[in-house]
A and B are shown apart, each in its own frame.
Chain A
Amino acid sequence: MLEQWLPNVNWENIWEATIETLYMTSISVVATFILGILLGLLLFLTAKGNLWENKMVYTVVGAFVNIFRSIPFIILIVLLIPFTKALVGTMIGENAALPALIIGAAPFYARMVEIALREIDKGVIEAAKAMGAKTSTIIWKVLLSESMPALVSGITVTAIALVGYTAMAGVIGAGGLGNLAYLDGFQRSREDVVLVATVVILLIVFVIQFVGDFFTNKLDKR
């Protein structure tokens, strides 16, 4: 039945491409989560009136974040070619997409982290200080714990954006469902391959959204 409707679809290729997309997405989501939180914390803590208030650091980090956030992803990949080559040694394959994915998404997530941290009541931070808490304790047990639902819903949005980015990266040779849809589908006029690749991407996005919402709700005790 399926062969009749989708004559050109090679399920093995679809499966392989899906694994590649999932690989690129999950590694870059994890790296973005860590890097984004570090950058976001740095932005939050060095902002005016906060624990490590430092105009210099805030301006530099803020500028870095803004620049990489505003470069269109497809251009960012091209700009990063020398960097990627030096780091990964090649421009082909899933690993070659990772630097661009992470550098594209981390600043975006960093801003979300900063916003999430700003939402925390200043009084709670002050209460922790009044109890004699160290800055590291405040970061772990107050800032990150209290903003966890927002951090999780932020990474959900970022992860979905990353799925889109992997498809774009695929077009220039990184593999995955985007690559498959473009080379095997679009270039060879096999609409059924494009359709199947799109549906699989949709499914991945739905699952990410569902899991993200589930954890956000579970963590949110407000």
Chain B
Amino acid sequence: MISISSVKKIFSTKNGKVTAVDDINLVINRGEIFGVIGYSGAGKSTLIRMLNGLETPTSGSVVVADREVSKIKGSELRQARREIGMIFQHFNLLWSRTVRENIAFPLEIAGVPKSERERKVNELIKLVGLEGRGDSYPSQLSGGQKQRVGIARALANDPKVLLCDEATSALDPQTTDAILDLLVDINKRLGLTIVLITHEMHVIRKICHRVAVMEAGHIVEMGPVLDVFKSPEQPITKRFVQQVTEPEESKETIEHLLEQYPDGQLVKLTFVGESAEQPVIANLIRQFNIGVNLVQGKVSQTQNGPYGTLFVHLTGASEEVNKAVEYLKEQKVSSEVITNA
């Protein structure tokens, strides 16, 4: 559906040339939800804006839905853009228009006749769950509702691809989840390819099938979300994964424990996929004569299966504890003994 080959984008600024996107190659499949994560300035925004020609690459090519977006201009580019919906962090609605008129705007641009516009708008209002709000103005809506209007508007011309530019970054956690659920629903129902950029790993975890991690204009790591969660390779990826798997206070708790209980072993277990549902701990307690103290744990659901981490503190005779650690290593969970660094 989307293929990006050796794309580079160099901006000329007062302080010289800045390479925002550096030699990126990427293929995104039809019907996939693909996430790009990175801190601000990583080039992810530039990358997504090249997908609908809001930016032109300095070199390389971008093909979306069989059209080389990076080459075409004028009416051909406008035609291509109608097949690529986009939603934005700050919604970018026209405040002088009602919800209904905002959603109708792309249809007006495409020259759809009035009766057909009305039918389509009603359908979209229902799809995004804004029944009864059609005649409100954006200023009368909450952030989540505004983004729903944004989504309806982006879907008006039946696009093949939906681009989400930090679409949930301005929303509170609860609204974020509701909007993400809506995106998954649309992806399943309409088979729409979705590309989203974000700095929140939570968003990737919740809805993406595959993820690319960007840093300084490069994609440093890419793969199915669960694989990246299981074995993040780059330090930046590890940091992002920790955003979801380890609560902020983990580190402090662990340091505290290591200080308080110098004996025994502190083990971090990582469960991926079906192993997350295995009774590993129960077996551990049954088979070995040790004390198992659960320190902290969390299981998250991703689009390709569950993923979790658990910190356990094993106490007892050191021989028995070592055996228990050996046992854990044999299981389908990856375990890591944490020692005082």
Residues of A within 8 A of B (CB): 121, 123-124, 126-134, 137, 141-142, 145-146, 148, 219, 221-222
Check if B81 sits within 8 Å of A145, measured CB to CB: no
Interface residues of B in 183-218 (CB under 8 A from A): none
Check if B78 sits within 8 Å of A148, measured CB to CB: no
Knowing A130-B81, A132-B81, A221-B137, the reply to whether A141 touches B105 (Cβ < 8 A) is yes
Q: Cβ of B174 < 8 Å from any Cβ of A?
A: no
Question: Which residues in B have their C-beta under 8 angstroms from that of A141?
Answer: 94, 105, 108
Q: Bound complex: CA of A137 vs CA of B111, how far in Å?
A: 11
Q: Bound complex: CA of A137 vs CA of B97, how far in Å?
A: 15
Check if B88 sits within 8 Å of A132, measured CB to CB: no
Query: Residue A124 contacts which of B94, B109, B139 (CB distance < 8 angstroms)?
Result: B94
Query: Residue B94 contacts which of A129, A130, A145 (CB distance < 8 angstroms)?
Result: A145
Query: Residue A123 contacts which of B90, B108, B109, B153 (CB distance < 8 angstroms)?
Result: B90
Check if B96 sits within 8 Å of A146, measured CB to CB: yes
Q: Bound complex: CA of A170 vs CA of B75, how far in Å?
A: 53
CB distance from A178 to the nearest CB of B (A): 38
Q: List 16 A-B contacts (CB under 8 A).
A: A121-B92, A126-B54, A126-B88, A127-B93, A128-B105, A129-B81, A130-B86, A131-B86, A131-B105, A133-B78, A134-B109, A137-B109, A141-B105, A145-B94, A148-B96, A221-B139
Check if B137 sits within 8 Å of A132, measured CB to CB: no
Question: Which residues in B have their C-beta under 8 angstroms from that of A131?
Answer: 81-82, 86, 105-106, 109, 153, 157
Q: Bound complex: CA of A142 vs CA of B81, how far in Å?
A: 17
Number of interface residues of B (CB under 8 A): 28
Q: Bound complex: CA of A219 vs CA of B94, how far in Å?
A: 13
Query: Residue A121 contacts which of B54, B90, B157 (CB distance < 8 angstroms)?
Result: B90
CB distance from A141 to the nearest CB of B (A): 7
B83 nearest in chain A by CB position? A132
Interface residues of B in 19-75 (CB under 8 A from A): 52, 54
Check if B81 sits within 8 Å of A124, measured CB to CB: no
Check if A127 sits within 8 Å of B139, measured CB to CB: no
A122 nearest in chain B by CB position? B92
Knowing A121-B90, A131-B106, the reply to whether A221 touches B96 (Cβ < 8 A) is yes
Q: Cβ of B337 < 8 Å from any Cβ of A?
A: no
Check if B95 sits within 8 Å of A221, measured CB to CB: yes
Check if A142 sits within 8 Å of B54, measured CB to CB: no
Question: Which residues in A have their C-beta under 8 angstroms from that of B105?
Answer: 128, 131, 141
CB distance from B150 to the nearest CB of A (A): 8
Question: Which residues in A have their C-beta under 8 angstroms from that of B93?
Answer: 124, 127
CB distance from A98 to the nearest CB of B (A): 32
B77 nearest in chain A by CB position? A132
Check if B109 sits within 8 Å of A133, measured CB to CB: yes
Q: Cβ of B294 < 8 Å from any Cβ of A?
A: no
A125 nearest in chain B by CB position? B92
Q: Bound complex: CA of A148 vs CA of B97, how far in Å?
A: 12
CB distance from A105 to the nearest CB of B (A): 26
Question: Which residues in A have their C-beta under 8 angstroms from that of B90?
Answer: 121, 123
CB distance from B337 to the nearest CB of A (A): 50
A134 nearest in chain B by CB position? B78
CB distance from A116 to the nearest CB of B (A): 13
Q: Bound complex: CA of A145 vs CA of B54, how far in Å?
A: 23
Q: Bound complex: CA of A123 vs CA of B52, how far in Å?
A: 15
Check if A132 sits within 8 Å of B78, measured CB to CB: yes
CB distance from B249 to the nearest CB of A (A): 37
Check if B52 sits within 8 Å of A130, measured CB to CB: yes
Q: Cβ of B79 < 8 Å from any Cβ of A?
A: yes
Q: Bound complex: CA of A130 vs CA of B52, how far in Å?
A: 7
